[in-house]
Amino acid sequence: MTDSNAAEATGFQEQAPYDESIDLRTDFVMVYGLDDTTPERIARWREAGYRVHLMTGISWGRYQDYLDGRWDGSDHWADAQTVADGSPILHGQSTDIPYLVPTFGFTEYLLEKLRPIIELGVEGIHLEEPEFWARAGYSESFRREWQAYFREPWQPPHSSAEAQFRSGQLKQHLLSRSLDRVTSVLRDEALQQGREVRFYIPTHSLLNYTQWQIISPESRLRTLPSIDGAIAQVWTGTARTPNVYAGKVAERTFETAYLEYGIAQDLTRGTDRRLWFLHDPIEDHPDRTWEDYLANYQRTLVASLLHPGVSRYEVAPWPHRIFNRPYLREGSTERQPIPPETATSYLIAMNSLRDLDRPAVRRPGPRIGIALSDTAMFQRWSPTGESGHYDGLQDALALEGREQLHFSDFYGLALPPLYDGQQVCPVQLENVVDTPDALDDVDILVLSYEFQKPLTPAIHYALAGWVSRGGSLLYVGDGSDPYHEIRSWWTGRYDTCVDHLAEALGADRLRDGVQPIGQGQVRFLASRPAGFTESSSRATELVGAIRELAETGGLSWEPSNWLSVQRGPYLVGAVLEETGGSHVVEGIYLDLLDPQLGIVRHRELGPGELTWLRDLTYDDEPLLASAGRIVEWTSDRTGIRFGCEAPRGVQVTTALRVVAEPAAVRVDGAQLTDLRYDAEVGVLWLRHPGAPTGSTVEIDFRADADGDVAREGTSPDQP
């Protein structure tokens, strides 16, 4: 196994001071926020044994000294992102934390605030959530930036499709410019001090930002030289945003999370940069139940594990709100602290995530990419200004303008093949230009310009090369998008950008049916993408077109209700709810979603049910799973010794593979009675209270035990 400390496989972010109840024992911690307590908080987490990073907002935060003039003597509320009526856009439910235009002034302020952090010896700095709302663009600072960038007078973003698109381009440029300067300057100053600091960008997925009508750098992050990677901020709050399938509006947390994690991989795919997937056991909405939080956490967790290209995780933001805040329980109106079994379940998952860097095996079938461009973010705000604001805290099903929030143009292309059980993954369109292997894992690419546009003709030349080498392209669009008329590189020479795509391919976009192109093929489908969300028959129509390309290209196509992957000993899977039916899993497994870590031999999963199992026949590893971090493992013919680290107040369950029932088990020298041994499967379960400084576990076996009771030697840090 890999050295998990070197890999920084797991981490979390926390603004609260160190407390044993929130000490999750991950590889690193991201101390959040810049204030007078930051040095003390960094020192205390380091004292607890952590690699320490720093996280702060790049577009919002408690930057009151900048806003009210204490920093440089000038009031900077004019830098707040502003809507058409002049109101600032505030973060969450705050009254004094606006989203800011990333002006030169604000960028210099951030540099000054972050310089002292370098001297504190942090190993990484995370500049969180570079965000510019699509409905913003009316402040004086933004108007000046418009004139400097476009060299023409500012236009109200809502005044036309072109103005909105150009507004999005400028917003992305300003965010990228600010990130580039902050990271480049601080990296240089750190090197002058003999230090090396890494810079990461925690960011929502391109899919979520587009759906929520927010502009962010996304693909531009790959081009900024001083950025070392990203955190894909996907969680229940983003993934439960409703969408439409077969005419039904609903939350589809698992499927949406699966697509979000899919596109987020392209933040670093094909580079040597790091990417962590975020999970959040408690979303930002504070009025849901413990049962709701756990069920949706598991949906996002399993969705992330179905993408074996990533094996690093931020296991939680804000553990203080998980372990130290009360929430409702189903059937009760009183808030209660975290149920003990829920805490154990969370920690089993968090510790098991350290062992996911394993060879992966998927079932056969075509790999289907859904092209998604940064420019989709530029087209989301309605020129009429009628869309409602949504950031995960509102009732999306009652939201004004909710039909646009659904982002049906994208989901109309992605959900039908996904619900047919196919391997579907969004693809960052811009990457095909500068990443030669961007489409290596794609057999069929579905593309539409009805909700996005190509920023450069080079995209089409790259696609033409991929098709000629054997790729299959399905273009979907009826030309009804008003953004086809904007000024861009195709204007004047081609009626639309689709005409240039057809020319680059050497295809006739008005011809019906599949057209061979070199070793590959293309088909143009003259339909509005959102139309495929209207009914099950329309969804079937799209699936038929994709399947035709697959089978014409010599690929097999097998409809299924079961989405799964095997990652080493771990079986991860889900039964697609809208597809219906059930799926049976048989074997000898340990259930990692069960706080008791029970044995599974036969399980029938119904629609919407999911699983994460460890196959007990895969290998002979002695350590199977634990709610604690297992360290300093030694074993020989007489017994096993290890340390178990976990937050204070949590009940730890550990499952071990042994060949005999132990004669005695001690925890910190005291006899442990809360244990169970199953001779048939050779598994021993231990339960004891957690301690972040570590509990010493000693397992002794009878002298007459037949053969080795456990694999001898020292096991690496678990897993």
Residue 554 CB neighbours (<10 A): 8
Pairwise CA distance, residues 422 & 415, whole Å: 10
Q: Parallel, antiparallel, or unpaired: how do β-strands 670-671 and 198-203 relate?
A: unpaired
In this predicted structure, what is the pLDDT of residue 401? 58
| Crossing angle of helices 253-264 and 408-419, rounded to 10° | 100
Residue 386 CB neighbours (<10 A): 12
One domain, residues 423 and 570: no
Task: Note whether residue 72 is domain-resident.
Answer: no
Mean pLDDT over the full length of the chain: 94
Q: Parallel, antiparallel, or unpaired: how do β-strands 695-700 and 639-645 relate?
A: antiparallel
Token reading at 369: 């990419």
3-state DSSP assignment of residue 515: strand
Domain extent at residue 573: 562-615
Pairwise CA distance, residues 146 & 170, whole Å: 7
One domain, residues 520 and 428: yes
Chain centroid to Cα 395, Å, comes to 22
Task: Note whether residue 143 is domain-resident.
Answer: no
DSSP single-letter state for residue 409: H
β-pair partners for 427 = 371
**Closest listed residue to residue 256, CA positions, set 212, 222, 221, 289:** 212
One domain, residues 532 and 402: yes
One domain, residues 404 and 477: yes
Are 631 and 694 within 8 A, CB to CB? yes
Are 694 and 644 within 8 A, CB to CB? yes
Task: Note whether residue 638 is domain-resident.
Answer: yes
In this predicted structure, what is the pLDDT of residue 716? 52
Task: Note whether residue 456 is domain-resident.
Answer: yes
In this predicted structure, what is the pLDDT of residue 362? 83
Half-sphere exposure of 273 (CA within 13 A, CB side): 25
One domain, residues 532 and 398: yes
Pairwise CA distance, residues 445 & 514, whole Å: 14
Chain centroid to Cα 174, Å, comes to 24
One domain, residues 378 and 491: yes
3-state DSSP assignment of residue 133: strand
Task: Give residue-wise pLDDT tens across range 261-315.
Answer: 999 999 999 999 999 999 999 999 999 999 999 999 999 999 999 999 999 999 9
DSSP single-letter state for residue 14: E
| Crossing angle of helices 340-352 and 290-305, rounded to 10° | 10
DSSP single-letter state for residue 88: B
Q: CATH number of the domain at 644, please.
A: 2.60.40
Pairwise CA distance, residues 518 & 709, whole Å: 61
What is the rounded end-to-end Cα distance, in angstroms, of the chain? 8
Pairwise CA distance, residues 434 & 489, whole Å: 19
- Helix, strand, coil share (%) of the chain residues, nearest 5: 30, 25, 45
In this predicted structure, what is the pLDDT of residue 712? 47
Pairwise CA distance, residues 217 & 413, whole Å: 24
In this predicted structure, what is the pLDDT of residue 2? 36
Pairwise CA distance, residues 212 & 224, whole Å: 25
Query: Residue 399: is its pLDDT beyond 80?
Result: no
Per-residue pLDDT band for 717 (boundaries 50, 70, 90) equals low
Chain centroid to Cα 456, Å, comes to 27
Per-residue pLDDT band for 584 (boundaries 50, 70, 90) equals very high
Token reading at 493: 């020479």
Per-residue pLDDT band for 41 (boundaries 50, 70, 90) equals very high
Are 105 and 75 within 8 A, CB to CB? no
Number of independent structural domains in the chain: 3
Task: Note whether residue 189 is domain-resident.
Answer: no
Token reading at 656: 């071990």
Side by side, the strands of the sheet bearing 683-689 are 623-626, 651-657, 683-689, 675-678
In this predicted structure, what is the pLDDT of residue 404? 78
Token reading at 689: 């209270």
**Closest listed residue to residue 294, CA positions, set 630, 689, 610, 687:** 610
Task: Note whether residue 538 is domain-resident.
Answer: yes
Task: Give residue-wise pLDDT tens across range 591-618.
Answer: 999 999 999 999 999 999 999 999 999 9
In this predicted structure, what is the pLDDT of residue 383? 53
Task: Note whether residue 421 is domain-resident.
Answer: yes
One domain, residues 627 and 607: no
Q: Which of 552, 572, 607 is the last residue of a domain?
A: 552
State residue 60 phi and psi, 5-degree precision: -155, 160
Burial status of residue 353 (CB atoms within 10 A of its CB: 0-12, 13-18, 19 or more): buried
The larger pLDDT score, comparing residue 502 to residue 710, is at 502
Residue type, 201: I
Token reading at 556: 């097999």
Query: Residue 102: is its pLDDT beyond 60?
Result: yes
Pairwise CA distance, residues 274 & 466, whole Å: 27
Pairwise CA distance, residues 371 & 445, whole Å: 7
Please state, in angstroms and as integers, the Cα–Cα distance from residue 507 to each residue in 76, 147, 381, 444, 467, following that order. Answer: 54, 40, 33, 17, 11
Calculate the CA dihedral of residues 33, 39, 45, 51 and round it to 10 degrees: 80
Per DSSP, the residues of 284-316 read S-TTSBHHHHHHHHHHHHHHHHT-TT---EEEE
One domain, residues 459 and 385: yes
Token reading at 560: 């299924």
Token reading at 198: 């890494």
Q: Which of 589, 615, 641 is the last residue of a domain?
A: 615
Query: Residue 173: is its pLDDT beyond 60?
Result: yes
In this predicted structure, what is the pLDDT of residue 5? 40
Query: Residue 157: is its pLDDT beyond 70?
Result: yes
Please state, in angstroms and as integers, the Cα–Cα distance from residue 625 to each residue in 6, 155, 593, 657, 719, following that order. Answer: 21, 58, 11, 10, 8
3-state DSSP assignment of residue 597: coil
Residue with tokens 């750190």: 190
The larger pLDDT score, comparing residue 198 to residue 383, is at 198
Pairwise CA distance, residues 272 & 261, whole Å: 18
State residue 573 phi and psi, 5-degree precision: -160, 165
Pairwise CA distance, residues 481 & 483, whole Å: 5
One domain, residues 648 and 591: no
Residue 704 CB neighbours (<10 A): 6
Query: Residue 80: is its pLDDT beyond 50?
Result: yes
Pairwise CA distance, residues 276 & 345, whole Å: 21
Contact residues for 118 (Cβ-Cβ < 8 A; gap 6+): 186, 189, 190, 193, 195, 197
Pairwise CA distance, residues 268 & 278, whole Å: 15
In this predicted structure, what is the pLDDT of residue 385? 47
One domain, residues 458 and 586: no
Half-sphere exposure of 249 (CA within 13 A, CB side): 13
Are 355 and 560 within 8 A, CB to CB? no
Q: Which of 552, 570, 603 is the last residue of a domain?
A: 552
Pairwise CA distance, residues 125 & 31, whole Å: 10
In this predicted structure, what is the pLDDT of residue 4? 39
Contact residues for 406 (Cβ-Cβ < 8 A; gap 6+): 211, 242, 243, 244, 249, 533
Query: Residue 704: is its pLDDT beyond 70?
Result: no
Nearest 5°: the CA angle 104, 430, 511 is 140
One domain, residues 593 and 648: no
Pairwise CA distance, residues 350 & 539, whole Å: 37
Q: CATH number of the domain at 409, please.
A: 3.40.50
Mean pLDDT of the region 85-100: 90
Nearest 5°: the CA angle 430, 435, 439 is 80
One domain, residues 567 and 546: no
Nearest 5°: the CA angle 171, 175, 180 is 145
Task: Give residue-wise pLDDT tens across range 345-395.
Answer: 999 999 999 999 999 998 889 999 999 999 999 998 765 544 567 776 666
Task: Note whether residue 173 is domain-resident.
Answer: no
